[in-house]
Structures are given as C-alpha cells and as structure tokens.
Amino acid sequence: MRIEHVTDLETAKQMAALLEAENARLHQRLELLVQENARLKGEDAQARLQLELTQLAEQLALMQQRLFGASSEKRKPAVEATPPASARKQRGHGPRAQPQLPVQEVVLPLDEADKVCGLCGGALKEWAGQTEDSQEVSVVERHFVLKHYRRQKYRCPCGCAPVTAPAPPRLIGGWLRRLPDGDEAWSGWASLLLPGVLLGPRATQIRGGRESGPRVRRGAVAHWPAVCP
C-alpha cells in the first residue's frame, strides 16, 4: 500500500515511522559502502561498489519522495496579505521641474566682514567650485525665470568647518516648504494669486500660471488660504 493512499491517520504515522527507519538504515549502509569503497583497489570491485552506491541512492530518493513528497495532507502555501492601497504610505512629491523657464544664475558671496573663520579667526579663502545650490521661481517684469542660487562656500586654511554664504531673503519665507505636494518656494505666488482673488477661481489662476510661467499643482494653490488667510 502506498502512503498517499492511506486515509487512516494512525496507519499513516506507522508507515511514516517505518519509512524513516528504512531511510536511516539506507544512510548507514551507504556510509559503510563508502568506507569499503575507499579500501578496495581492484577495478571490478570498484565498479560493483559504484553500481551499488547508485542503486542505494535511487532507493533513498524514492523513500524520501514517498515519505515527504506524496502526502495526501499537503498544505497550501501561505499567501501574504497585500495591504489595501489606502493603507499604504503615500510618498510626497518632490520639487516640480520648470524646464520651460529661462534660468538666471545668481552667485551669492560672503560679505568681506564675514570672511573670517568663526573657530580660529583666520581669513576664509574661496573654495573654488564649491557652492550650496537652491532654486526658486521669481517674477522679473512679469516674466517668470528660474533663479539658480549658488551660495559660495569658503574654507579656512587651518582645516576648520567650511562656511557658506547666507541664502537670499524670500517673499514668504519658509511657508512653501510646508506645502503638501512639495512645490518649491517662489516669489511669484503673489503675482499669480492676487489677480485670481479679485477676478476668478483657482482653476483660472492655475491656467494663467501655466500659460505665462511656472507649473503649479492645484492642491498647492488650494492650500494657500488655509496657511495664509
């Protein structure tokens, strides 16, 4: 009787125990044959032992298949539950690119009075090619440009910590950094929102901004009254 045809649990357990004992016996016999194979030197004996080893390996594989691979009580693999889309953590948007705007590069150096190391008092030297960069959308005579600020970095000959030129003042400070959709701070908000407050809804404001300047998400404009009433 094959183990996969057994329906009684006790009988199946007994057959499994017998198969396991036979499996152990075959393992022991295999070890003895390996040791005997190492001692024998004749070619005929070597071939005979190799054949017997092959047969025992096949029997061992068959026993293992009967014991573990053909059970009538196979369990279905557990399927990991996939969390619903609403429960997944949503990632915020990064700064929105403005490829259609011309770029105006502004280099911000330290004042002469500030070119002194705060640790040792030594004179700071310009660190060639090292700047701390940021961007904002600005209005220049009703034209939107993307200002790329390069805050010059300085280092002390004594090896002290480098010093970076301060950032320029912004119209609305750090408020835009708290926007839920991650739009960068830009001083064009007033130019975009003020006509809309007087003349039309937010959709008109956004459309006007896209036609004449930066790309703005609707959620960012809707968040304005809640933060700056």
Where do the domains of the chain lie? 3-69, 103-227
At 165 the pLDDT is 92
Average pLDDT over residues 201-207: 57
At 164 the pLDDT is 93
pLDDT band at 80 (very low <50, low <70, confident <90, very high): low
Which SS3 state, helix, strand or coil, does residue 72 take? coil
At 19 the pLDDT is 82
pTM equals: 0.31
Q: Which of 58-67, 121-130, 208-217 has the lowest mean pLDDT?
A: 208-217
Query: Higher confidence at residue 191 or residue 99?
Result: 99
**Contact residues for 19 (Cβ-Cβ < 8 A; gap 6+):** 3, 63, 66, 67
Mind listing the pLDDT tens digit for each residue in 20-44?
888 888 888 888 887 777 676 555 6
Is the per-residue pLDDT at 175 higher than 90? no
Average pLDDT over residues 39-63: 75
Evaluate whether 144 touches 212 at the Cβ level (below 8 Å).
yes
At 12 the pLDDT is 73
